[in-house]
Amino acid sequence: MNNAVHQLIQLILQGITWVLRTAEALWTWSWNQIAAVFALSWGTLPAWKLVLGIIAIIILAAIIFAALRRALADLRRVAAAFWSMAMMLVGILTMVVIAGLFSRGFQWVVASVPDHFWESLI
């Protein structure tokens, strides 16, 4: 049982690591593309390209604003779910620690208390 839980935790950690590294790579690539657009010499562009660029920036700003609003609401739900999961994990861990303490106490009784302990009380 302990091995299965350990393997499950390792699998979850590997999955989370992959997701975060992929998100980091996409984030870096996207910001490089955004910085490249602003590094263009806008003053030398023809009027139609300038208007197209400004319209694209306005549309992208609106999309980013809407995405950030939705992401903030989703982040609240994720934080609540994470907190619930953490509290459940603490509860399970508490029960396992208590079971470990009982096991340790029983081992102490087996190792320390004489076999004929009850005879001396009677």
pLDDT in tens, 4-22: 889 999 999 999 999 999 9
Contact 68, 75 (CB under 8 A): no
Which has more pLDDT, 71 or 35? Answer: 71
The reported pTM is 0.49
Percent of the chain residues topping a pLDDT of 90: 67
Written as six digits, the tokens of 64 are 């980013």
Helix (H, G, I), strand (E, B) or coil at 1: coil
3-state secondary structure of 114: coil
Over residues 99-118, mean pLDDT: 89
